């Protein structure tokens, strides 16, 4: 049995968006795409709220919806004393915290006091994992261990596109061309990157050609190369190209 089957008591109009957003959170996190991962966390909260409200009332909405006062609506879920404790207290108190990341941490709106980052994305992923496990446990009357195993098998396991460790980053697709590697590495980095680090991350050894390539990409306005050529930063056209590269890579059948 899959986690999707374990959630079959949830109407398909809510179950499919739930699984889609959860999968998006996991995949974007694995590729170090912090902002999309955190944005999906906000949508995930709205879907889960709609499910809890439907479970309590006995009538599910035909589609996910966002209440005007999200925090107040979650507090009202605590009045439902006939539902499991996690549906009454734990999840309704957790959802506003997850939603806060989307609203006021520089993700869903400009002016947040923190840019999208690994720490916040980890908070979102960890808590969404727990919520999914609890939904599976309650709807299919399983133990926490059994529910966790089902959730672990819910999302297709894919090798992340970027590996990172001890100051080194690598694109894990050995067939990706050098310009594409540069764009993907820059798109998943925050702010300017030292050109020397970027060269090391690609594993390329001809520094002269590498600098020439950066100048060409600068001329195409894919990247911004500093006047002294010491740092490089991705520009919007480069970000768009990087997104297309990632989509193309995802679409390719995996040999794993």
Please report, for the chain, the start and end positions of each structural domain, with discontinuous segments joined by +. 3-152, 162-251
Mean pLDDT to the nearest integer, 132-143: 87
The winner for highest mean pLDDT among 97-106, 197-206, 244-253 is 197-206
Longest dimension (CA), the chain: 70
**Helix residue spans in the chain (DSSP H):** 3-6, 12-30, 34-57, 70-77, 85, 91-104, 118-140, 144-152, 178-187, 195-202, 207-219, 236-251
Contacts of the segment 64-71: beta carbons below 8 A, 24+ positions apart? 64/14, 64/17, 70/45, 70/46, 70/95, 70/96, 70/99, 71/96, 71/99
Say how far apart CA 83 and CA 133 lie, in whole Å. 17
Q: What mean pLDDT do residues 33-62 have?
A: 90
Q: What is the mean pLDDT of residues 124-137?
A: 90
| Assigned CATH class of 162-251 | mainly alpha
Return the percentage of the chain with pLDDT > 70, whole number: 86
116 pLDDT band (50/70/90 cuts)?
low
Which of 82-86, 181-185, 250-254 has the weakest average pLDDT? 250-254
Tell me 253's DSSP state.
Answer: P
Residue 80 has pLDDT above 80, yes or no: yes
Residue 209 pLDDT: 97
In the block, residue with structure tokens 């906000």? 42
Mean pLDDT of all residues in 194-222:
96
98 in Cβ contact with 127 (< 8 Å): yes
* Contact of 55 with 22, CB cutoff 8 Å: no
List all residues 6 or more positions away from 30 whose beta carbon is below 8 Å from its beta carbon: 158, 160, 161
Spatial separation of the C-alpha atoms in residues 98 and 142, rounded to whole Å? 25
**Which residue from 183, 48, 66 is spatially nearest to 124, judged by alpha carbons?**
48
Q: Looking up tokens 């919806």, which residue turns up?
A: 65
The dihedral through the CA atoms of 137, 141, 145, 149 has a sign that is negative
Confidence of residue 1 (pLDDT cuts 50, 70, 90): low
Query: In the prediction, which pLDDT does 25 show?
Result: 86
- What's this model's pTM, rounded to 2 decimal places? 0.61
Mean pLDDT for 32-38 is 74
pLDDT at 197 (0 to 100): 96
Q: Return the closest-CA partner of residue 112 out of 101, 97, 120.
A: 101
Report helix, strand or coil for 166: coil
At 115 the pLDDT is 54
Determine the Cα angle at 34 with ends 30 and 35, to 5°.
135
């Amino acid at each position: 049995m899959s986690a999707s089957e374990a959630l079959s008591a949830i109407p398909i109009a809510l179950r499919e968006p739930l699984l889609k957003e959860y999968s998006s959170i996991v995949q974007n996190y694995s590729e170090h795409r912090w902002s999309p991962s955190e944005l999906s966390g906000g949508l995930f909260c709205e879907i889960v709220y709609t499910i809890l409200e439907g479970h309590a009332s006995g009538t599910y909405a035909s589609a996910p919806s966002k209440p005007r006062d999200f925090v107040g609506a979650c507090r009202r879920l605590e009045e439902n004393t006939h539902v499991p404790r996690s549906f009454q207290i734990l999840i309704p108190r957790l959802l506003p915290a997850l939603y806060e990341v989307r609203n006021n941490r520089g993700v869903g709106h400009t002016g947040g006091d923190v840019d999208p980052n690994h720490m916040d994305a980890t908070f979102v992923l960890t808590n969404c994992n727990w919520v999914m496990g609890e939904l599976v446990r309650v709807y299919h009357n399983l133990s926490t261990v059994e529910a966790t195993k089902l959730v672990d098998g819910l999302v297709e396991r894919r090798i992340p596109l970027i590996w990172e460790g001890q100051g080194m980053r690598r694109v894990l697709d050995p067939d990706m061309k050098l310009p594409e590697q540069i764009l993907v590495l820059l798109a998943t980095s925050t702010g300017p990157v030292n050109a020397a680090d970027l060269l090391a991350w690609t594993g390329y050894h001809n520094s002269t050609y590498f600098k020439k390539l950066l100048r060409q990409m600068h001329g195409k306005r894919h990247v911004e190369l500093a006047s002294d050529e010491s740092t490089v930063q991705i520009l919007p056209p480069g970000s768009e190209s990087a997104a297309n590269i990632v989509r193309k890579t995802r679409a390719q059948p995996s040999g794993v």
